[in-house]
């Protein structure tokens, strides 16, 4: 239950972040960075700075902290669910970079690879992290091949 509640929080932070100009300044930079990499056939890969929760550049790192790290820390502090932060840290530091923006990953029940890259083309779709349950419920789900 806590995991689902946490993913709901991240869903809404992500979705609202597209509407709030000062957040979207950083998040749209992340979108353009990933889209430019894909145009040049560059697939994001894990690098050592992920261990420190640092992304490709300063704006992408600020985006990560605003839309995921800080909300996750606040959620864990508020509800005492530190196992979620441990899970999130392992995901972000070691796994996410290889899966989330990888066009070769195609599992429609997971929000990685092709599913997440639809969000980079259609910014009002596919906000979820891990599973598309909130996208389906709030009608922001899109998975057309």
Between the alpha carbon of residue 23 and those of residues 20, 75, 136, 138, the distances in Å are: 6, 19, 24, 21
Query: Which H/E stretch holds residue 19?
Result: none
Asked whether the predicted pLDDT for residue 136 surpasses 90, the reply is yes
Positive or negative, the CA dihedral 133, 25, 62, 38 is: positive
Residue with tokens 């890259």: 117
Residue-wise pLDDT tens digits, 54-92: 887 899 899 999 999 999 999 999 999 999 999 999 999
How far apart CA 60 and CA 34 sit, in angstroms, is 10
Residue-wise pLDDT tens digits, 3-62: 999 999 999 999 999 999 998 888 887 777 676 766 666 666 767 888 899 887 899 899
Half-sphere exposure of 83 (CA within 13 A, CB side): 3
Task: Delimit the domains of the chain by residue range.
Answer: 2-137
Asked whether the predicted pLDDT for residue 140 surpasses 90, the reply is yes
Instruction: Please check whether residue 132 is in contact with residue 40, taking contact to mean a CB–CB distance below 8 angstroms.
Output: no
Share of the chain above pLDDT 70, in %: 91
Max CA pair span of the chain: 43
Q: What pLDDT, on a 0 to 100 scale, did the predictor assign at position 116?
A: 86
Q: What is the pTM of this model?
A: 0.89
């Amino acid at each position: 239950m806590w995991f689902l509640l946490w993913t709901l929080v991240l869903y809404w932070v992500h979705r609202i972040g597209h509407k709030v100009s000062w957040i979207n300044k950083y998040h749209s930079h992340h979108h353009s960075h990933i889209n430019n990499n894909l145009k040049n056939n560059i697939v994001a890969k894990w690098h050592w700075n992920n261990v420190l929760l640092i992304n490709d550049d300063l704006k992408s790192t600020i985006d990560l902290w605003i839309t995921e790290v800080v909300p996750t820390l606040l959620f864990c502090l508020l509800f005492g669910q530190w196992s979620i932060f441990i899970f999130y840290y392992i995901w972000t530091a070691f796994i996410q970079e290889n899966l989330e923006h990888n066009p070769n990953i195609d599992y429609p029940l997971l929000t990685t690879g092709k599913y997440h890259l639809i969000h980079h083309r259609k910014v009002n779709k596919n906000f979820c992290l891990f599973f598309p349950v909130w996208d389906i419920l709030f009608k922001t789900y899109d998975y057309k091949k």
